[in-house]
Amino acid sequence: MSVPATLPNPLLPGFNPDPSICRVGDDYYLCTSTFEYLPGLPVYHSTDMVTWTQIGNVATRTGQLDVEKVPTLGGAWAPTIRHRDGVFHVVVTDAFGRGTLHFTATDPAGPWSDGVVLEGIDGIDPDLTWDEDGTAFLTFSGLGVNPELDTFMSHRGLLQARVDLERGCALEEARSIWSGVGGQFPEAPHLYRIGEHWYLVIAEGGTERGHSVSVARADSPEGPFTEAPGTPLLSARGTNRPVQNTGHGDLVQTADGRWFLVLLGVRPRTSASGFSALGRETWAVPVTWGEDGWPSFEVVPLAPREGGLTWREDFTGPLGPQWLAVRQLPTDCTRVGDGGLVLTANDDDLSGRAPAFVGVRQTHQTASYTAVVDATAGSGGLAVRYDERYHYSLTVEPGRVVARGCLPSFEQVAELTLTGGQAAVELELTARRPEGDFIAQRTCDTVDLAVVVDGERHVLLSLDGRFLSSEVAESFTGRVVGLFATAGEVTVRSLSFTGSDE
């Protein structure tokens, strides 16, 4: 199937940062970061670069990632997905966990291997490539994330080493190869043999507003590398473009010979473009190669898919691969029962490290989620989460529904008394544009927490959405909306969604 000249943007909406892509024949596979969430490292598939389906996850078993103990923002950072000789490879940093890992699979939908720790590699954002002789090179950013080493949280530029993938070790001491043109945090390297040269595509400037894509090339994978004239070749910094933080790019050539760059970016809103509710998303732009052999990248456009999206989950079978839990697998706190999805509370609430919470990525700027919750055997409900410090929730408790907006050192609470002994309560969480004219808008959206009783909608709290944004929470993830239990068992009979970017 042919790939159109322009693609919808974002390509993968919602919490899908640090994209990496590869093509096998007419099929495209894309993998993104998941940090402290499990299952980890989603794998998406497409035949036209337009319609993407999540076919699985790399980390679906306990022990593949050591996220149970990592701090917030730790876990699965910046995978690279590649294919060689019938085998798919993913290399990734399990930050503050196992270290630099190498996973393999013959089917990208899984199952994937347990993951081999690449000894002798201390850094983040690994890239894997092979030269003509089959020698494997690992190129990575030299930010130390092993607390036991003297290099912890120091940055040593972009490093590279030959590796033995079978034995799981570096074959030499990592050497510096190139570190961009002076932007902070040179990272996310990807190395390719294209024509007569080896091209190194990196990010620098930090993953916030200074983010950018820089390019260099050499005659050997080891360098020396010469930077492209005018690099960085792509950045939104200092502009009023609707897509900001653009960087962390990976090249792919389509079956008909054209090139695209997939990369991350955010969609800030407010009159000053201050806050990005959905976090870092995956985008794509065409690539043009000049007569001098250097690439150029188009400006990243905001071109969301037309129309809206609706879906409903009645929980009649196992949760799909898109469902996430925090530092545990969804099956650790849920099961499918006769009446729907049963969540069993543990010792953590939403402010804890591993709450009984399962959710999906918020994918649209305007979005509404409706859950029918039976909490006669416990308490729990519907929530939107950035991390354990920033979350808004609706909890069904005996005789009442409690709405909470939780921020560091601050909590806003409202409640509605229930009468009539309802077995199930309809909860609604909506993200909408704030009221008022454009100049007055100082937040990306308003989040309404509501309950429907006897057909009447009661909004318990209307909360400022800017606090659930990447700029305020300083989280590398995004909004995850889902279901939770804080005591006993809670049965969720259905979850419905409607969303739009119009």
Structure tokens at 270: 């407010």
The span from the CA of 162 to the CA of 139, in Å, is: 9
Strand bridging mode 309-313 / 425-432: unpaired
Residues 212 and 204: beta-carbon distance below 8 Å:
yes
Structure tokens at 47: 């035949």
CA distances to 155, 341, 359, 490 from 483, in Å = 39, 9, 6, 9
For the chain, the first-to-last Cα distance in angstroms comes to: 28
- Only one residue has tokens 């929530």, namely 383
Task: Please state the φ and ψ torsions of residue 466, each to the nearest 5 degrees.
Answer: -65, -25
What does the alpha-carbon distance between residue 191 and residue 197 come to, in Å, rounded to a whole number?
Answer: 10
- Rounded to an integer, what distance in angstroms lies between the CA atom of residue 253 and that of residue 428? 43
Distance CA 129, CA 446 (A): 45
Catalytic residue numbers read 18, 187
- 120: how many CB neighbours lie within 10 A of its CB? 17
- List the beta strands (DSSP E) in 340-436: 340-344, 356-361, 366-374, 378-385, 391-397, 400-407, 410-417, 425-432
Place of tokens 């923002």: 73
ω into residue 8 within 30 of 0, thus cis?
A: no
Neighbour-count burial for 15-48, b at 16+ CB within 10 Å, e otherwise: bbbbbbbbbeeeebbbbbbbbbbbbbbbbbbbbe
d(CA 264, CA 413): 35
Long-range contacts: 155-158, Cβ < 8 Å, 24+? 155/185, 155/186, 156/123, 157/186, 158/186, 158/187, 158/189, 158/200, 158/202
Residue 367 near residue 373 (C-beta atoms within 8 A): no
The per-residue DSSP string of 191-255 comes to EEEETTEEEEEEEES-SSTT-EEEEEEESSTT---EEPTT---EE-TTS--SSEEEEEEEEEE-T
